[in-house]
């Protein structure tokens, strides 16, 4: 099992983190995947950050999705307890 950490942040900071993660999800899940599936045709100054193939882009997007879902579940649980 992986190690866990506890971070205490203001709610609006958590929203900013989620916004950044959603941007990462869009970057890898949509833009990099499309780029890598289209024979590497550059559009709009787009830059590949971490992937070498479309499957890699989808795997990274899935990681972002799991992180977003984990944070959202924690926030929902926290709100239910308040």
pLDDT of residue 42: 60
DSSP secondary structure letters along the chain:
----------HHHHHHHHHHHHHHHHIIIIIIHHHHHTTS---TT----S-SSHHHHHHHHHHHHHHHHHHHHHHHHHHHH-
pLDDT of residue 59: 87
Residue pLDDT, tens place only, 20-47: 999 888 877 777 777 777 766 666 665 6
Tell me, yes or no, if the pTM score tops 0.85. no
Residue pLDDT, tens place only, 50-65: 677 888 888 888 889 9
């Amino acid at each position: 099992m992986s190690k866990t950490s506890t971070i205490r942040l203001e709610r609006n900071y958590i929203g900013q983190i989620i916004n950044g993660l959603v941007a990462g999800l869009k970057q890898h899940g949509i833009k990099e995947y499309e780029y890598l599936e289209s024979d590497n045709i550059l559009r709009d100054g787009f830059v590949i950050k971490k992937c070498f193939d479309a499957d890699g882009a989808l795997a990274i997007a899935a990681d972002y999705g799991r992180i977003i879902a984990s944070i959202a579940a924690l926030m929902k649980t926290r709100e239910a307890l308040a």
